[in-house]
Amino acid sequence: MSQIATTCPVKTSSRRLVKLEKDEAEAVQQDQQRHESTQHQPNLPPSLNSDTRIQAYLMEHPDGEPYILPPDPLIVTYNDIRHHLCVRRIVRSPDLWARCEDPDVQPLTASGRHWTRVSGNKPIEKTVLDIVERTEVSNCYIVALIDDGAREIPVPIGVPIFGKETCCNRPCGSLQVHLESVWTGVRVEHARLFPSKRCVLETPLDDRIFEVWKNELYVRVLTRVKEDMRTATIETSP
């Protein structure tokens, strides 16, 4: 009985065999080169690509021109951005705050604009950032969203530690009194926490209510925000 062959022999010419061996060698070499290139380049976060431009604004000048970080495959985390800004002497000790828009987080204005502090070796997700120079603010501070009817800008505000510090040499007693004493000629109309919308106009300024390194305070003022308001850091007194 004849057996059924499970394979079919194929006759190949010597010229054809040489070409196949050459093609295989080139494919192996290309795979090796691709492997080596991916080992030497860190994986970029999903939000970054070779054309991404990271914009860094000084929070004290939010309407100014941003510093544009040049494309760099080694800048993949927020710590990488901080290091770059320090090495280039843009700032000395930066805190980075990402610009965000989400009405579920900040429901007090139509834009939903707010800021989130970012740091560490977390992959870069937000590419529009505001910088707080730590040497020019209190160690414990918050970022307030100031709304003057025309613009919504961030302003750092020093927050005293309850029982250890006061907002001024003579305690002001409430957030409204404190802000109006620091910002000469400015009238504060509303002050609320978000997303809860809790009114804090008459609340004393300390860390019991105002959580440091957060942007959860919305302040509505009846005077257009001036340059000195942006740069005025509310200092604390021991």
- Cα separation, 215 vs 230, whole angstroms: 15
The model's pLDDT over 54-63, given as tens digits with 9 standing for 90+, comes to 999 999 887 7
The model's pLDDT over 104-132, given as tens digits with 9 standing for 90+, comes to 999 999 999 999 999 888 999 999 999 99
Q: How far apart are the first and last CA of the chain?
A: 105
Residue 56 carries which side chain, given as an amino acid letter?
A
- The strand order across the sheet containing 188-193 reads 152-158, 141-147, 217-221, 188-193
- Cα separation, 215 vs 213, whole angstroms: 7
Please report how many Cα atoms fall inside a 13 Å half-sphere around the Cα of residue 87, on the Cβ side. Answer: 7
C-beta atoms surrounding 130 within 10 Å:
24
**∠ at Cα 15 (22, 33), nearest 5°?**
5
The model's pLDDT over 156-214, given as tens digits with 9 standing for 90+, comes to 999 999 988 888 777 788 999 999 988 888 899 999 999 999 999 999 999 999 999 99
The model's pLDDT over 5-52, given as tens digits with 9 standing for 90+, comes to 222 333 444 555 444 455 555 544 544 554 344 344 455 555 566 567
